[in-house]
Amino acid sequence: PTVVQCISHLVELFPTQCAHSDFSRARHGILEMSRFFSELSVYQASLSIEQRPSVVAFSCVLNAMECVSTVSLPYSVRQDFLEDIAKATHLQEGMMEVCKARSHLRELHSTIPENQFDTSADGGSYDRNMSSLDRLSPVSVTGL
């Protein structure tokens, strides 16, 4: 399986129902940000060649979860999700290979200039209503 396929399977382990109204949007945001991180991972041989896709996918999801507030994704839901992943895959947040992969992904993400995605100069804007299939990630390798 590819990293993107692993991400989709991992995100399926999130609870389908949550009392918080922003949870559905947070879950979708985690999926999209995880896909973005997976595209970045292609640029790093230690991630794209040397690491198992499941480890890279889990690292992408963990890094994406850092971008979501605890209001939208409560701590208890995060913990339940991580426990479900550990039961299903034996992947854990503290594993050495996961920590290294997360660090590499953070480094890759920090090298992108902030204004690279600014489309205001040409009058463009980001349409949040567009489906993920209608738009490409800023650095698209897979075309998703």
Band of pLDDT at residue 110, cut at 50, 70 and 90? confident
Q: How far is CA 121 from the centre of its chain?
A: 28
Q: What pLDDT, in 10s, does the model give residues 119-137?
A: 333 333 333 344 334 444 4
Helices and strands in the chain: count of H runs, count of E runs:
6, 0
Q: How confident is the model at residue 118 (pLDDT cuts 50, 70, 90)?
A: very low
Q: Does the pLDDT of residue 2 top 90, yes or no?
A: yes
Whether residue 113 is predicted with pLDDT greater than 60 in this model: the reply is no
Residue-wise pLDDT for 65-105, tens only, equals: 988 888 888 888 899 999 999 999 999 999 999 999 999 99
Average pLDDT, the chain: 78
Contact 138, 109 (CB under 8 A): no
Could you tell me the sign of the dihedral formed by the alpha carbons of 25, 39, 82, 107, in that order?
Answer: negative
**Token pair listed for 70:** 């605890």
Query: Tokens in use for 89?
Result: 């895959």
The alpha carbon dihedral of 27, 28, 31, 37 has a sign of negative
User: Is the pLDDT score of 14 beyond 90?
Assistant: no
Q: Which pLDDT belongs to residue 131?
A: 39
